[in-house]
Amino acid sequence: MTVLSDPRTPRPGRPAAASHVRWLGFGAAVDSLGTGLSTVVVLLYFVRIVGFDVVSVTAAMSVGAVLGLLTPIPVGRLADRVGLVGVYVGALCLRGVGFLGYALVDDYAWFFGITLLLMGLETTTSSLQQSLVAGLLDEAGRVRAMSLISAVRNAAIGAGTLLGGLALATDSRLVNASLLAVNGLSFFVFAAVVARLGRRLDDERKRTPDPGSADPGSVDAGSADPGSAGPAGTTNAPPVLRNLRFLALVGANGLLFLHDSVLNELLPLWMVTAIGLSPVVMSVLLVVNTALSVGLQVLFGRMNGLVSRTRELLWASVVLLVVFCALCVAVGRMPTGLAVAVCALAVVLLTIAENIHSVVSWEVSFAWAPEARRSEYMAAFSMGYGLQRVVGPVFLIGVVLARGDLGWLVLGAVFALAGSGFGALSRRAKVTNSPA
């Protein structure tokens, strides 16, 4: 296993990577605590306390979700052209203004407009953060930094969600509006952190070319020809919407990300309605998922050699997802006590699989994003996740849940085919970049 450079070792001309990660973790913690506070509050606040019709509120959110699919690439292009840090800080500040507006609004037209603004920007900031990580850290530290940041985010969102639930129980407009305002202020804190980290980033990118992150042992090496994204140092990459191979890779990654909707939408409904488990048991298993995810992300953030094992990690994730589906087929034929134990095992396997896939996804996106179009390609890569958030629940509820065992077998086949396609597309890029 390849031993990566210590993240505390400075790159020439750059501050110590450990300092960057600490600041990003601090900003992510503040931001995510606010996000957890508001996530559980927004829908019920505007329906129960402000008095908007539930159909009107969900309609605004649906339109916002569609807009969120369209904004990342244009915003990524803008970041590549005028500067990543300025665009990222601007997006965070606009989100902060939006949530402060949520705290004050009592007119539906204003609510609708603010919702479109917030949901349009929500899908852009994760890819901008990843571009910032790519600019600040070397290849050895990027995936580990993303793992640690994700661990911090998950823990902070969990704490914020708990506090938000307590606030809802008060039925107080002042208390709940204050939480929305706190979330708005958290974006300004994170924007200040980004501005501090990125003060010299744009000038440094002009002076120092990125050598790229293609690793000969991974599935993600890029191609230097105009038909592929190429390694990170490539300057002749086409606009991302003209790069069909990269878009196919995005689609395969989106199919693998169905595990997110399985966890959040399908699994709770299936365990309660199809298997007959108690909602309390289901809730405990989801808490196990959250705790295990945080632990795995911290572990991955401290491990060396992950980027040299991308292919093995991809197939480990796919195998675990297929085994998870097989367990879900089997559990329906078991007595209640054994079914609970097997469901717990299935949740553990799904949790490990989703976190391994996240590592693979980060590394592949870093490797495929050319320096000159980094934010644009990062934004496009994140669209796979965004698309599955829109279509995933429909497929999982309408096909997997409705068809029972057959549905789970179909889902397992989808994971296997998506993993094969993902690996083949990345491997083809590597071969294209190899000497004749």
What is the per-residue pLDDT across 68-120, written as a single tens digit (0 to 9) for each? 888 999 999 999 999 899 999 999 999 999 999 999 999 999 999 999 999 88
Q: Specify the residue for token string 């790159």.
A: 11
Distance CA 245, CA 28 (A): 33
What is the DSSP secondary-structure string of 183-235? HHHHHHHHHHHHHHHTTTHHHHHHHS-------TTSS----SSTTS--STT-S
Q: Specify the residue for token string 């230097």.
A: 224
Distance CA 376, CA 74 (A): 7
Which residues make Cβ contacts (< 8 Å) with residue 15, sequence separation at least 6? none
Closest CA to 398 of 218, 206, 261: 261
pLDDT at 100: 95
Backbone dihedral angles phi then psi of residue 391, each to the nearest 5 degrees: -95, -20
User: How far is residue 43 from each of residues 20, 170, 171, 209, measured CA to CA in Å?
Assistant: 35, 15, 13, 46
User: How far is residue 163 from each of residues 4, 30, 252, measured CA to CA in Å?
Assistant: 39, 14, 37
pLDDT tens string 278-328 = 888 888 888 888 889 989 888 887 776 666 788 899 999 999 999 999 999
pLDDT tens string 170-219 = 888 998 899 889 889 989 989 998 998 887 565 555 555 544 444 433 44
As given in the structure block, the two tokens for residue 345 are: 């095992």
What pTM was computed for the model? 0.80
Burial status of residue 369 (CB atoms within 10 A of its CB: 0-12, 13-18, 19 or more): buried
Residues 2 and 308 sit within 8 Å (Cβ to Cβ): yes
Residues 426 and 246 sit within 8 Å (Cβ to Cβ): no
Closest CA to 100 of 14, 29, 187: 187
As given in the structure block, the two tokens for residue 146 are: 């993303």
- The residue ranking higher by pLDDT, 287 or 355, is 355
Q: What percent of the chain has pLDDT over 90?
A: 35
